[in-house]
Structure 1
Amino acid sequence: MSLLVMFVLLALLLVLGMPVALSLASASAIYILLEGLPNVVVVHNMINGVDSFPLLAIPFFILAGHLMNTAGITERIFTFARALVGWAPGGLGHVNVGASVIFAGMSGAAVADAGGLGTIEIKAMRDAGYDTDFAVGVTAASSTIGPIIPPSLPLVIYGVMASASIGELFAAGLVPGFMMAVALMIMVAWYAWRRDYPRDLVFRPALVLASFLQAFLPLLTPVIIVGGIVSGLFTPTEAAVAAAAYALCLGLFVYRTLTWRHILRVSIDTIETSAAILLIVAAATIFAWILTANQVANGLGEFLLSISQNPQVILIFITLIVLALGLFMETIAAITILVPVLLPIAQQVGIDPVHLGIVVVLNLMLGLLTPPVGMVLYVLAQVSGVSFERCLKATAPFLVPLIVVLLLVTFVPAFSLYLPTQFYR
């Protein structure tokens, strides 16, 4: 009965618009009171939830992304992407996707991509005569590449919750991330053919080289992060520190676009964002502990396995569950709650935890583009000055290539497991 009350209260609080962290903590606290458990259980689980060395990567990756945006480094990335792929029909659409791929190797967050690059991309596309809806749609869809290509904040959270190698998860995200980029570029090419969009500029090797040299140092950021982790030079957490320090050096000493005032504002923004994420993790840890204590995972596992023990069928059920929860819950909270429930089920039928992590994060990325949560849509509504409803309508066609990639990655594990197998196993 107490468990039912907890679920009903959580649903009610979310519908009323209470922040996810407070909703989870409040519902869990009510359960603990009804069960007569000591109040210290709440504090104990919240502390244990965030007392993890890998979680230190979160504030540093966030800091690196903020520093890149504030130092004007995103503009150099956009200029390089424009010279590289802007010659194709619908050039700025391809530039949009290409810039997101590059920036994904620095920020690890879809919202950072949408808020940072989105401002530059949408303005450039509008000025070039592209439809606003097309500009918003491709910007929203391409921003979801960020949490798939390393570094990835959701994959860090998943790795902590699943006790999986974050290095393997980062390696597993590379191929699916590039698959998303290719699928979106095919969609952009179709739009360009149908609407007769122009080429943005003529391909000139000299221009590509010049823009590459301007963006060379920022482009080293993903090389430092991924190369350092794969080579064993440092852990993902240490890679986050290295990325933040590198971004700080670029802004302060190389480009000299950062001032101490900028650094103060960036630090405050990083603290606020990190605190919000870690509070969600802490609150979701209590909720997940209650689910585990009540053997919800065992019950769900027995139910699903009674239907089928085929891994493909179980993956379909997992996809439906994650998609449903992703519509209503923020990515980090959803991962923290779902992993303790879904991981045991997946392991029983032989699904690799690393493959499961990529599938879960890919599913939750679709939630960023769909109501009622749709964080990327809310950000782009502010950036572009159009309504949330219009952003949703503009983004809907771009869900098609993303769903195709999701299905391929879900049912062909080699797409996500090939690189981890080569480098780690």
Structure 2
Amino acid sequence: MGGNALATGDAAWLLFGIFFTLLALRVPVAVALGIACLPPLFMEDRLWPMILVQETFNSYNSFILLAVPFFLLAANLMTAGGITDQLVRLSRSLVGHLPGGLAQINVVLSVFFAGISGSSTADAASQGKLFIEAQIKEGYAPSFSVAITAVSSVLAVVIPPSILMIVWGGVLTTSIGALFLAGIIPGLMLAGVQMGTVHLYAKSRRYPTYPKATWGELGRALFISVPALMTPFIIIGGKVFGWFTPTEAACIAVLYALALSFLVYRQMDARRLFRAFSDTGRFAAITLFAVGTASAFGWLLAFYKIPDALLSGVAAWEMGPIAAGFFVAAAFLVVGCFLDAIPAIIIVGTILQPITADAGIHPVHFAMIAIMSLAFGLVTPPYGLCLLICCSIANLRLVDVLKDVCLMLLPMLGVLCLLILWPDMALLMPRLLEPEFLQ
């Protein structure tokens, strides 16, 4: 093939074979992607190993990706500065009286937190420490406590602002403003079915509830929480109305979180501030390292024209929008079980984009199908990072919580199917508020 040492098929077997072998040996995903790139770089006369460094750096040299560490920092500052505590109080006033009150609060807080952090792993880590032990003490089954905390954390990548949306927009040149608006209805529907699932569990297992908050208690909780609740409106509204870019929005979110922590709620101190910055550095390094090595892996796929070879057979199926939508969902559901969401977007998203274009699926609709499918991968083994985080917090084995996780995922899969069948679930908000985003 074009004078290359490796033919397309041989290169595909080598790249994916090394990568999945390393995954089976429990090598971290980002490291496995980087190591898999090295043999072809040594074998090709026209390539050299420094291309791995070069392509990794090129992926970092992106103004849009600067938003990732800033959104993570904003979320950590809000947790350290006591802002999350005020949102817990508001959530309890709103839904604490419903069956399974503490688990309902868990879901509602995930909705609020999703509008700030954009990171499911940050949500799982913070809320796992906050809710899992508390739910077990109140009589909830440990497996249920872990499962609902992990499953609700995936809302952070569907409800805007989402780090996956930012990465998707940067890699596949899709309007990030449109993606932010497109995630609102699917995200709230996912939260709704999660709350319905908690209701059924609570009724069947007689989980406790809290006394219903008075209107005065609800009003006070809402008044105190209003400054914190303004954060997602500032982020999303500023991006939608063109006041600032996603990266600038993330920076403003950090400044706003600092102002709330020091001037409004006044719970921030030097120790908490240092912990917020150190946690952000750790999470951001993991996330962005995966972006870099996945970009180098994707560059090699393009060099050997592996996506063209994979698509040649699929394109012959001549799928319509619905069939292509289910094909995309199935592909990302499977890939999400083994691969982190960001590398999956860079590698699989670019491969599937031509198929969806030929099938007549709008790029924003395609993005939302993929992002929601990848969100489920955060709680499905063997990768299931959010599930692993929650299991480690509770000192439970993964197999002990799989039954409850599967039961909770079933109605969420129903929402995904509805998204595929009804594109306006994703496109309605952008069409109503900023139709030029869909052009």
Normalised-by-shorter TM-score class: over 0.9
On the 8 A contact 1:167/1:230 being kept in 2, the answer is: yes
**2:90 aligned to 76, 80, 99, which one?**
80
Q: Distance in 1 between matches of 2:89 and 2:162?
A: 24
1:148 aligns with 2:179: no
Q: Distance in 1 between matches of 2:139 and 2:389?
A: 22
1:305 Cα deviation from its structure 2 partner: 2.1
Q: Distance in 2 between matches of 1:252 and 1:361?
A: 35
Q: Distance in 2 between matches of 1:247 and 1:83?
A: 23
Kindly provide the CA deviation profile for residues 27-77 of structure 1, in whole angstroms up to 9, marking residues without a partner as x.
112112122213343232112212111101001001011111212221211
1:130 Cα deviation from its structure 2 partner: 2.4
Kindly provide the CA deviation profile for residues 150-203 of structure 1, in whole angstroms up to 9, marking residues without a partner as x.
110111111111011111111110100000011111112222222233432224
Aligned to 2:295: 285
Aligned to 2:353: 343
Aligned to 2:391: 381
AA in 1 matched with 2:132 = I
Aligned to 1:30: 39
1:254 Cα deviation from its structure 2 partner: 2.2
**1:61 aligned to 37, 60, 71, which one?**
71
**1:422 aligned to 425, 428, 432, which one?**
432
**SS of structure 2 residue aligned to 1:146:** helix
Aligned to 2:18: 9
User: For residues 112-261 of structure 1, what are the structure 2 equivalents within 5 Å?
Assistant: 112-261=122-271
**2:304 aligned to 291, 294, 303, which one?**
294
Q: Distance in 2 between matches of 1:52 and 1:381?
A: 35
Aligned to 2:318: 308
On the 8 A contact 2:12/2:306 being kept in 1, the answer is: no
**SS of structure 2 residue aligned to 1:378:** helix
Distance 1:386 1:72, change over 3 A: farther
Q: Distance in 1 between matches of 2:129 and 2:427?
A: 35
Q: Distance in 2 between matches of 1:405 and 1:126?
A: 29
Q: Distance in 1 between matches of 2:194 and 2:222?
A: 23
Distance 1:309 1:382, change over 3 A: closer
On the 8 A contact 2:336/2:374 being kept in 1, the answer is: yes
**2:29 aligned to 9, 15, 20, which one?**
20
On the 8 A contact 2:124/2:153 being kept in 1, the answer is: yes
User: For residues 393-404 of structure 1, what are the structure 2 equivalents within 5 Å?
Assistant: 393-404=403-414
On the 8 A contact 2:99/2:202 being kept in 1, the answer is: yes
1:325 Cα deviation from its structure 2 partner: 1.1
Aligned to 1:92: 102
On the 8 A contact 1:297/1:345 being kept in 2, the answer is: no
Distance 1:130 1:38, change over 3 A: closer
Q: Distance in 2 between matches of 1:89 and 1:418?
A: 32
Kindly provide the CA deviation profile for residues 252-271 of structure 1, in whole angstroms up to 9, marking residues without a partner as x.
22222222232222222212
How high is the sequence identity, in percent, across the aligned residues? 36
Aligned to 2:419: 409
Q: Distance in 1 between matches of 2:379 and 2:38?
A: 31
1:411 Cα deviation from its structure 2 partner: 2.2
On the 8 A contact 1:368/1:375 being kept in 2, the answer is: yes
On the 8 A contact 2:74/2:116 being kept in 1, the answer is: yes
After TM superposition, the structure 1 stretch with the greater mean CA deviation from structure 2, 367-376 or 28-37, is: 28-37
On the 8 A contact 2:74/2:253 being kept in 1, the answer is: yes
AA in 1 matched with 2:77 = L
AA in 1 matched with 2:92 = R
Q: Distance in 1 between matches of 2:432 and 2:298?
A: 33
Structure 2 unaligned blocks of 5 or more: 1-9
User: TM-score, normalized by length of structure 2?
Assistant: 0.93
User: TM-score, normalized by length of structure 1?
Assistant: 0.96
User: For residues 328-367 of structure 1, what are the structure 2 equivalents within 5 Å?
Assistant: 328-367=338-377
1:371 Cα deviation from its structure 2 partner: 0.9
After TM superposition, the structure 1 stretch with the greater mean CA deviation from structure 2, 122-131 or 85-94, is: 122-131
On the 8 A contact 2:76/2:280 being kept in 1, the answer is: yes
On the 8 A contact 2:138/2:208 being kept in 1, the answer is: no
Aligned to 2:117: 107
Q: Distance in 1 between matches of 2:99 and 2:11?
A: 59
On the 8 A contact 1:292/1:340 being kept in 2, the answer is: no
AA in 2 matched with 1:17 = R
1:47 aligns with 2:80: no
AA in 2 matched with 1:206 = G
1:295 Cα deviation from its structure 2 partner: 2.4
